[in-house]
Chains A and B, each alone.
Chain A
Amino acid sequence: MTTTPSPDTTSPAEPLSPPPPAGRLAALAPRVTLLRVAGGALAVIGALLPWATFVLNEGPYPEKSTLQFFVAPLAVTGFRLHLVVLGLATIVVSLVPAVPAKGRIVRALGWGIIAIAVLNGAYIAVEGGGVGAITAAGGSVAFGSLVALAGGVLAVLGATAAGLEPVPTWTWRLPTWAEWLLLVVVYILLLLVVAAVLTSGGQGGVVNPYAGAVFLSTLGAVGGALGALHASGLLGWVGVVSERHRVYSVIVLLAVALALPLTGAGTEYWMTVAANIGVYAATAIGLNIVVGLAGLLDLGYVAFLGIGAFVAANLSGAAASQVGIELPFPVVMVISAVIAGIFGAIVGSPTLRVRGDYLAIVTLAFGEIFVRSAQNNIGGLTGGANAIPNIPPVSVLGTSFADPITVGPIQLPSGVLYYVLIVLLVAAVMLVFGNLKNSRLGRAWIAIREDEDAARAMGIRTGPIKILAFLIGAMLAGLAGAFFAHKTAVVAYDSFRFLESVTLLAAVILGGMGTIPGAVLGASILFVLPEKLREFSDYRLLLFGIALILIMRFRPQGLVPDRHRRAELAADAPGAPPPLPATAPVQTAAAGGGS
Chain B
Amino acid sequence: MGLLESFSTQLTQCFGSTSPPVFVFLQQIINGLVLGSLIGLIALGYTMVYGIIQLINFAHGEVFMVGAYGGLATFTYLLPTFAAREWYIALPLVLLGGALISVLVAVAMERFAYRPLRNAPRLAPLITALGVSVALQEAVRVFYPNATAALPFPNIFVPGSLSFSVGGGDIAIKYSGILLLVVSLVLAIALQIFVDGSRMGRAMRATAQDRDVARLMGINPDRVIVLTFVIGGALAGIGGVLYGGYLNNINIDMGFQTGIFAFTAAVLGGIGSIRGAVIGGLLIGLVKSLGGQCLPGGTAYDYVWIFVVLIVVLVFRPQGFFGETERVRA
**Cross-chain contact of A362 among B211, B223, B315 (Cβ < 8 A):** B315
Q: Is A546 a contact of B126 with CB atoms below 8 Å?
A: no
Q: How far is the CA of A548 from the CA of B138 in the complex (A)?
A: 14
Task: Please report the total number of A residues contacting B with Cβ < 8 Å.
Answer: 59
Q: Which residues of A are found within 8 Å of B310, using beta-carbon distances? A: 361-362, 365
11 A-B pairs (CB sep. < 8 Å): A3-B222, A10-B220, A10-B222, A13-B119, A353-B315, A354-B315, A369-B307, A542-B135, A545-B136, A548-B135, A569-B124
B113, B126, B127, B308 interface centre (most CB from chain A within 10 Å) = B127
Residue A451, interface by CB 8 Å = no
Q: Which residues of A contact B301 (CB under 8 A)?
A: 372-373, 376
Interface residues of B in 256-286 (CB under 8 A from A): 256, 260, 263, 267
Contacting pair A5 B220 (CB below 8 A): yes
Output the least CB separation between B48 and chain A (Å): 16
Query: Could you say which residues of chain B place their CB within 8 Å of the CB of A545?
Result: 131-138
Residues of A with C-beta under 8 A to B121: 556, 567-571, 578
- The residue of chain A having its C-beta at the shortest distance from the C-beta of B143 within the complex is A542
Whether B130 lies near A369 (C-beta < 8 A) is no
Once the chains are docked, how many angstroms separate the CA of A510 from the CA of B134?
A: 16
Question: Are B138 and A542 closer than 8 Å at their CB atoms?
Answer: yes
Residue of A nearest to B209 (CB): A583
Q: Is the CB of A2 within 8 A of B135?
A: no
Determine the main DSSP class of B at the interface with A.
helix
Query: Which of B1, B116, B142 meets A9, CB within 8 Å?
Result: B116
In the complex with contacts A553-B128, A567-B121, A569-B121, A361-B222 CB distance below 8 A: no
The yes or no answer to A28 lying at the interface (CB within 8 A) is no
Q: Mark B282-320, 1 if CB is under 8 A from A, else 0.
A: 000000000000000100110110011011001110100
Contacting residues, chain A, for B119 (C-beta < 8 A): 12-13, 577-578, 581-582
Known: A354-B330, A499-B134, A549-B132. A362 touches B311 (CB 8 A): yes
Complex Cα distance, B298 from A500, in Å, reads 27
- Bound together, the chains give a CA A9 to CA B316 distance in angstroms of 37
CB pair B134 A357 closer than 8 Å: no
B120 interfacial contact with A, CB 8 Å: yes
- Encode A493-535 as 1/0 by CB contact (under 8 A) with B: 0000011001001100100000000000000000000000000
> Please, what's the 1-or-0 string for A353-374, where 1 marks a CB less than 8 Å from any CB in chain B?
1111110111011101100110
Give the Cβ gap from B43 to chain A, nearest Cβ, in Å.
13
Residue from A548, A567, A581 in contact with B128 in the complex, judged by beta carbons closer than 8 Å: A548
Residues of A within 8 A of B182 (CB): none
Q: How far is the CB of B271 from chain A (nearest CB, A)?
A: 9
A566 to B113, CA, bound (A): 23
- In the complex, whether A163 has a CB less than 8 A from a CB of chain B is no
Across-interface contacts of B179 in A (CB, < 8 A)? none
Can you list the 6 inter-chain pairs with the closest CB atoms, starting with the nearest?
Answer: A548-B131, A545-B135, A545-B134, A542-B138, A365-B307, A549-B131
Known: A369-B304, A568-B121, A583-B211. Is A542-B133 also a contact (CB below 8 A)?
Answer: no
Q: Are A368 and B297 in touch, CB under 8 angstroms?
A: no
> Is B304's CB under 8 angstroms from A372's CB?
yes
A333-368 interface with B by 8 A CB criterion = 350, 353-358, 360-362, 364-366, 368
Partner of A584, one of B130, B212, B223: B212
A350 and B330 CA atoms in complex are apart in Å by 11
Contacts of A498 in B (CB 8 A): 256
By a CB distance below 8 angstroms, the chain B residues around A570 are: 121
* Assembly CA distance A498 to B307 (angstroms): 14
A361 touching B314, Cβ below 8 Å: yes
The smallest C-beta distance from A412 to any residue of chain B, in angstroms, reads: 38
* A541 on the B face (CB < 8 A): yes
* Residue interface mask B79-121, A partner, CB < 8 A = 1: 0000000000000000000000000000100110101111111
Cβ of B221 under 8 Å from chain A: yes
Q: A552-B125, A578-B121 are in contact. Are A353 and B330 (CB under 8 A)?
A: yes
CA distance in complex: A361, B119 (Å)? 22
User: Inside 8 A of B267's CB, which chain A residues have their CB?
Assistant: 358, 361
The 0/1 profile, CB within 8 Å of B marked 1, for residues 542-581 of chain A is 1011111100110010000000000111110000011001
Interface centre among B122, B215, B303 (most CB of A within 10 A): B122
Instruction: Please indicate the chain A residues that have their CB under 8 angstroms from the CB of B125 in the complex.
Output: 552
| A297 adjacent to chain B (CB < 8 Å) | yes
From residue B324, how far is it (CB to closest CB) to chain A in Å?
Answer: 15
A568 CA to B127 CA, complexed, in Å: 12
The answer to whether B210 has its CB under 8 Å from any CB of chain A is: yes
Cα(A1)–Cα(B110), bound, Å: 12
Give the chain A neighbours of B221 by CB distance below 8 A. Answer: 10
CA distance A508 to B139 in the complex (A): 25
Q: Which residue of A lies closest to B110 (CB)?
A: A2
Task: Assess whether B303 is in contact with A372, with CB atoms less than 8 Å apart.
Answer: yes
Min Cβ gap B54→A in Å is 8
**Beta-carbon contact of B120 and A556 below 8 Å:** yes
> What total of chain B residues lie within 8 Å of the partner, measured CB to CB?
60
Interface majority SS (helix, strand, loop, mixed), chain A = helix
Q: Is B226 an interface residue (CB 8 A)?
A: yes
Interface-centre pick from B115, B221, B301, B311 (highest chain A CB count, 10 A)? B311
Q: B329 contacts the other chain (Cβ, under 8 Å)?
A: yes
B73 close to chain A: CB less than 8 A: no
CB distance from B294 to the nearest CB of A (A): 17
Docked-complex contact A356 and B329, CB < 8 angstroms: yes
Bound Cα distance A10, B219 (Å): 11
Enumerate chain B residues within 8 angstroms of A556, measured Cβ to Cβ: 120-121, 124
A539 touches B (CB below 8 Å):
yes
Which residues in A have their C-beta under 8 angstroms from that of B183?
none
Residues of chain B with a CB closer than 8 A to A502's CB: 130, 134
Q: Per-position contact with B for A1-24: 1 when CB-CB < 8 Å, else 0? A: 111010001101100000000000
Known contacts A350-B311, A376-B297; A547/B131 CB under 8 A: yes
B56: interface (CB < 8 Å): yes
Q: What residue of chain B has the Cβ atom nearest to residue A577's Cβ?
A: B119
Shortest CB distance B32–A (Å): 19
Could you list 18 further interchain pairs (A-B, Cβ under 8 angstroms) beyond the known A2-B110, A355-B330, A552-B120?
A: A356-B330, A357-B56, A358-B330, A369-B307, A379-B3, A505-B127, A545-B134, A545-B136, A545-B138, A546-B135, A548-B128, A552-B125, A552-B128, A553-B117, A568-B123, A569-B120, A569-B124, A583-B210
Pick the most buried of B130, B221, B226: most chain A CB atoms within 10 A of its CB. Answer: B130
> Are B222 and A2 in contact, with the CB atoms below 8 A?
yes
Q: Given A3-B220, A12-B119, A549-B113, does the pair A541, B134 have CB atoms closer than 8 Å? A: yes
With the chains together, A297 CA to B125 CA distance in Å?
A: 13
Given A545-B134, A548-B128, A552-B117: A358 touches B329 (CB 8 Å cut-off): yes
Give the distance in Å from the alpha carbon of A583 to the alpha carbon of B117 in the complex.
Answer: 15
Contact with A along B150-175 (1 / 0, CB 8 A): 00000000000000000000000000
Nearest CB of A to B126, in Å: 6
Q: State whether A350 touches B110 (Cβ < 8 A).
A: no
CB of A361 within 8 A of CB of B133, answer no
Query: In the complex, are the beta carbons of A297 and B138 less than 8 A apart?
Result: no
A366 to B130 Cα, complex, angstroms: 17
Proximity bits, A294-310, B CB within 8 Å = 1, else 0: 00010100000000000
Q: Which residues of B contact A509 (CB under 8 A)?
A: 127
Find chain B residues with CB under 8 A from A364 CB: 260
Bound Cα distance A577, B115 (Å): 14
Chain A residues with CB under 8 Å of B304's CB are 368-369, 372-373
Inside 8 A of B123's CB, which chain A residues have their CB? 297, 568-569
Question: Contact at A297–B126, with CB atoms within 8 Å?
Answer: yes
Hey, which chain A residues are within 8 Å of B134, CB to CB? Answer: 499, 502, 541-542, 544-545, 548
Whether A369 pairs with B135 at a CB distance below 8 angstroms is no
> Which A residues are in CB contact (< 8 Å) with B142?
538-539, 542
